[in-house]
Amino acid sequence: MEQEIITRQATRADLDGIMRIETSCFGPDSFSKKQFVYLITKAKGMFYIVEYQERIVAYVSLLQNDHTPNLRIYSLAVHPGFRRQKLGQHLIDKTIEFARQHNHPKITLEVNVSNPAALRLYQKNKFEPVRTINNYYADGSNAYSMHREVDCF
């Protein structure tokens, strides 16, 4: 599958495909279409999508902030029908590459404490929990705030 995927910067035309993944992955915690328009067109950072056979199957939204040198993974999602095919790893690799290119010393994120697949992916990639954020999600569940150092080569 890896030879057949295309990773590129998202455009406004990708919104429907992104929203399909968002709602299937996050349900009541989903971002709105308006939020994605902002992330794709105005936010400082990068929004990558992964396409397979002209269908959007995964994405990651990365944010840069003038108040911190760190890069934030704002959202990462893989369509349920395309999980366990290393697309999450592919997006983490793209994130690390972006962080290195833009001299970010650290990558941060928040993840649901009850999402074992995401936690395994992040821990495998040297992300460490630094604190628990209570009631972070709409259903009242907690999140881990995680980070990893970026070893620039």
30 phi and psi angles, rounded to 5 deg = -65, 145
Distance CA 89, CA 68 (A): 25
Radius of gyration of the chain (CA): 15
The reported pTM is: 0.91
Give per-residue pLDDT as tens, 81-131. 999 989 999 999 999 999 999 999 999 999 999 999 999 999 999 999 999
Distance CA 63, CA 98 (A): 11
- The overall average pLDDT reported for the chain is 92
pLDDT the model gives residue 29: 81
Give per-residue pLDDT as tens, 71-86. 999 999 999 999 998 9
